[in-house]
Structure 1
């Protein structure tokens, strides 16, 4: 084997191993993958197959044994076939990426690319019989044939289509994103032209590997930015909810209750002070809780709030706890805002008051927390007509989804009451 052959094999094996490392890095990063990330992993996977196949074609070239005979033919067939598949999968990735930036792009370019790829693969299959692209001689050596350039023209046309997509929607992309995607188009085209002019140099799939890594860097930078932004939004959400729970009216009403009890029932006043301090401590602790907390802790915080409200409203507020299941995690300040909504906007608006029930349950795949009241209810399809902003429930729903992939559903009927249910999926292995 020539020195060029050894260089080609070394570069392609190195590129294949590098691609595998990046595939493992992305695959182990998180269990839940977005479609864009799954497509990028496919791009890297196909590129890895191409690199190892081309390296195998070089390794077994010129060896007369039966195993090498088949390896050279299979490897070269895979190189041609997966080369076209790679172009089609990259177009899927490009269309998905641009679509995620708010551009109104259709699936037509992807469908066109797959049709081109399939027609090109058909010609590769035909070439196995008429040798229009390449011939493997009796010495097991690969030789280009007179129509080889057609196989490369297919690739260049596909790259030009991808380039047209990128040019058409460039205004939706940042400079780094545009540079990374453009590199994946331009570098393989240049490498393809070099291979057509200089026989024996295998630089095409090394070029696709390097350009794929450029995209990887862009993706990681974008993901880090999105992660930081989500963390900031969650922090703002926690702060906003905490501040909403310590509004002046609640402080005034709670302190008024405590003042009255000091004169009529000092022992009850002492208990009220304990609940009041426990409620404030729970709110303050939530600011430093960057991850879900035990449900029992969130329930304790909610009990402090309800005890204070029961002291204030007396027999008008009846509370029932049905919580046999407490051994699970929940984001802080998620149950208490829902309970407060039920008290303030449901039960106390009824002259005779009502009953609030907090219940937990365990299903085959989730934990559920249900808050039910028999208050005035409301129309879930329209906004509350009380002139107030109701951002608490929105923040609760966002944090449930972001931290636990959980959901919040609310059902209500005017005059009958409201039911709010939190559904937290169970993780694999949880009992």
Structure 2
């Protein structure tokens, strides 16, 4: 084997090792398994296999024996075939990455997939008519006159990717755009060179370098965005906590407790307990980065309702139907919804009203429903009040457990809010606490 052959094998094995190291870092780094992260892992693994196969093709080249005979043929076939698979994966990765920022047409991805499927069929056909390459009796690989066609398909696919990036370039930052361009420009340039030059594995090395550039820049950018998002959520928790212990709420609660100290000392003592536990629950929410047991959130909600019932008395009626409570929910999601039902629903009516809190289980998750027969509102028309509390709850549900929130309301009839928590991830299911509870009134 020539010195060039040994150099190619060494470089490709190092590229294979680097690709696998990056893949392992992604797997053990606790990163969210988003679509683009999974696709990037597929890119790394596919590239590692291509590099390993090309190194094997160089190693077995010109050697005798059954192992070398099959090794050269299988390795070269996989290098050609997996190159198109890698192109299709990158196109999917590119559209998924851009799709986070702006709607992206699926037509280019479908076109590239069809192009790669045709190219794969030609690679299979080449094993019989040797249109791309042939392996002679000495077990040596030789290009054939139609080899250029095997490169044209890849170049054309990269041109499609270039068109996608140009079309949606405004959706990404300049640094991100440069990293994505590296994967398009370097492999395309190496394919053009390989049509005329044979001896150095330029394409595989260019692809590996481009993938590493994407990892260093794009994945690092995603990490930065995740940290910014976590900071935003932390600030949101502080804002919610402060909004729930506003001075007027503290004043009303303490005034009610003061009156009970004279008329009903025992009830006043219970109210002080509820008040202290409620404040402690708000403080604890600042450090709760993961969903908590629903029973814990329910207790916090009941403490809040106990304080409000001191003020409004029989104008606020609450009924519970909790057949299932053995699941988790992001902190401060139920209580803000119930607070909205009290402040903007039932207490807006002179005679007051009723709030129903229900839980249920489906095949895919759990749902929590908070309904009231208060004044309601028209979701299609602005009502002059902020709905930041509902939006904050929706954001926490989506970010912490992939859940969702829906609101239905009609003026004069009341409002129903449904929280949906999917059965996925870790830490959402708990022991069977409170199963079979029947509807009761506090």
TM-score tier (shorter):
0.7 to 0.9
What are the residue-to-residue correspondences of 1:122-271 with 2, within 5 Å?
122-271=121-270
Of 224-233 and 65-74, more deviation after overlay is shown by 65-74
Per the alignment, residue 277 of structure 1 pairs with 276
In structure 1, which of residues 403, 412, 422 is the aligned counterpart of residue 419 of structure 2? Answer: 422
Cα distance, 1:344 vs structure 2: 1.9
Q: Distance in 1 between matches of 2:114 and 2:361?
A: 49
RMSD between aligned alpha carbons?
Answer: 2.8
Q: Deviations over 1:299-319 (max 9, x none)?
A: 222222111211222222223
Kindly report structure 1 stretches of 4+ aligned residues shifted beyond 6 Å.
none
What are the residue-to-residue correspondences of 1:357-372 with 2, within 5 Å?
357-372=356-371
Residue 401 (structure 1) aligned with residue 405 (structure 2): no
Q: Deviations over 1:317-357 (max 9, x none)?
A: 22334446444332222111111111222222333323333
Per the alignment, residue 72 of structure 1 pairs with 72
Q: Structure 1's 375 and 172: CA in aligned 2 closer, same or farther, altered over 3 A? A: closer
Per the alignment, residue 439 of structure 2 pairs with none
Cα distance, 1:184 vs structure 2: 1.4
Are 2:258 and 2:268, in contact at CA under 8 Å, matched by a contact in 1?
A: yes
Q: Structure 1's 153 and 355: CA in aligned 2 closer, same or farther, altered over 3 A? A: closer
What are the residue-to-residue correspondences of 1:274-423 with 2, within 5 Å?
274-323=273-322, 325-379=324-378, 381-383=379-381, 385=383, 387-423=384-420
Of 363-372 and 245-254, more deviation after overlay is shown by 363-372
Cα distance, 1:209 vs structure 2: 0.9
Q: Distance in 2 between matches of 1:356 and 1:162?
A: 55
Q: Structure 1's 260 and 235: CA in aligned 2 closer, same or farther, altered over 3 A? A: same
Q: Structure 1's 424 and 125: CA in aligned 2 closer, same or farther, altered over 3 A? A: closer
Q: Deviations over 1:385-419 (max 9, x none)?
A: 3x321211111111112112222233344444433
Q: Distance in 1 between matches of 2:373 and 2:166?
A: 59
Cα distance, 1:169 vs structure 2: 4.2
Q: Deviations over 1:115-142 (max 9, x none)?
A: 4434433443343333332221111111
Say which SS state the counterpart of residue 386 (structure 2) adopts: coil
Say which SS state the counterpart of residue 237 (structure 1) adopts: helix
Q: Distance in 1 between matches of 2:104 and 2:357?
A: 47
State TM-score, norm by structure 2.
0.86
Q: Deviations over 1:100-128 (max 9, x none)?
A: 333x6534433443344344334433433
Q: Structure 1's 96 and 305: CA in aligned 2 closer, same or farther, altered over 3 A? A: closer
Q: Deviations over 1:63-99 (max 9, x none)?
A: 3323332332222122222223323332333333334
Say which SS state the counterpart of residue 64 (structure 1) adopts: coil
Q: Structure 1's 129 and 291: CA in aligned 2 closer, same or farther, altered over 3 A? A: closer
Q: Distance in 1 between matches of 2:300 and 2:121?
A: 67
Q: Distance in 2 between matches of 1:167 and 1:150?
A: 26
Q: Structure 1's 205 and 69: CA in aligned 2 closer, same or farther, altered over 3 A? A: same
Residue 23 (structure 1) aligned with residue 15 (structure 2): no
Are 2:401 and 2:425, in contact at CA under 8 Å, matched by a contact in 1?
A: no
